[in-house]
Amino acid sequence: MITETKIQNRSYALTKAQIIFYLSKKKTNCKGLAPIICRITASGKRAEISTGIRIKPTEWGNEKITTSSKTESINLNTQINIIKNQILQIETDIRLKGRVPTAQLIKHTFFNDMYVSPTFLNIYSIYLETKHALIGHEIKERQYLRYERLYDLLKVFIKAKYNRDDLEIEEIKPKFGLDFYHYMITVKKFNATYSAKTAGILKSVLDYAIIQEYTKHNPLKPLKFKRGKEAPVYYLSIEQIKKLIATQFESEALNLVRDIFLFQCYTGLAYADVSAFSLEHINVDANKQFWILINRQKTGTKSTIPLLPEALEIISKYKDVDKSNLLKSTHFYNKGILPVFANQVMNRLLKQIAMLINIEGNNLTTHIARKTFATTVLNTSGVSIETVSAMLGHSNINVTQKHYAQVDQRKISHEMNDFKFLTT
């Protein structure tokens, strides 16, 4: 018996697949570029394929690209037509094999059979799509923006080095990675550490290409990019902290920034964490000791910090302040209970404070407060490196040892005074 449903399904099977290309404005990135998506409708179902192309919304109309460069428009529209023709050919091949060309089957075949040699930047664009979907889950937005900046840098590099808009994935050789690393250092004037970290992302992109079966090997895997020397950790001494505490500034803004900076010195909280700090992060144990228990914004790892009386005083001073009326002309982050300026404003005012109290090099930033907590407040008090690591919320004690295990003259003097030479 032939039912209405069977007739409908047979109709879908005989209907030619519908293919449209549209601009996904909701996925527009910080550069104002939106991805072009290919939507396949077949057998009553839909499936979507990322083309790997991003453009400005004003450059899209009637399923065509109209960039300021005629050559670029022709190249990009050609890529779209190639994708469309590949999909139509896949649909025909599926029918010739006696199968129903569903949207998902066409998409699966497209990525596994027809699209075996995509361009490098197209793969990177698809990689960006997967990263964008992870914002707020596995990665922070600022991490995603780093991937985007690298994409833009690669476009400029490929054009400058090869006089082309893109490279085939099989053209990527170890020399490509080395040339790009040297380009960042010699042309863009980035330091070696930043260049090495950035070039290292290319390995991840090519690993992704292997997983998605765009290629079979990662030519950059053997490469090791040399990092520069780590910058010395700068922090305030006990004497400088005391001077900062004792100084009263004429500006209300400077006094506020000083207090927030000192709160960081007493707790080791990074800027993002002190901005989000609330009373919910305070716990009291059986001995009536106050603790800060907070997951770091940067890594998600837990920090366990004893809440010093000095830090409690700052909380008491500002917890009931109406931030909406405090310095209305200046932007505050209102995520927590402390009135915290935007980070750029904090650092600008901290530089003024450093000038007023004669800190060498006027070197004072929100991050220096965290380093001061780890190096001066803790290390000079004989706190173990394991305890420092737990308070700072480091995911690995090696991070603590690498950046904060410094010893100053005060600690050396204290320990040498207790040292006794063995005598016979």
| Domains of the chain, earliest start first | 18-115 (no CATH), 129-211 (no CATH), 238-415 (1.10.443.10)
The pLDDT assigned to 2 comes to: 39
Residue 344, Cβ density class (10 Å: 0-12 exposed, 13-18 middle, ≥19 buried): exposed
Which structure tokens are listed for 320?
């009931």
The pLDDT assigned to 135 comes to: 85
The pLDDT assigned to 114 comes to: 46
320: Cβ contacts below 8 Å, ≥ 6 apart: none
Residues (pLDDT < 70) of the chain are 1-14, 113-118, 227-233, 297-300, 322-335, 361-362, 376-424
3-state class (DSSP) for residue 16? coil
Q: Are 375 and 286 in contact (CB under 8 A)?
A: no
CA dist., res. 233 & res. 60, Å (int): 49
Which structure tokens are listed for 223?
């490469």
| pLDDT tens digits, 94-120 | 888 777 788 888 888 887 754 444 689
The pLDDT assigned to 385 comes to: 59
The pLDDT assigned to 12 comes to: 46
Q: How big, in percent rounded to 5, are the helix, strand and coil portions of the chain? A: 55, 10, 35
3-state class (DSSP) for residue 135? strand
From 67, 63, 68, 42, select the one nearest 51 (Cα to Cα).
Answer: 63
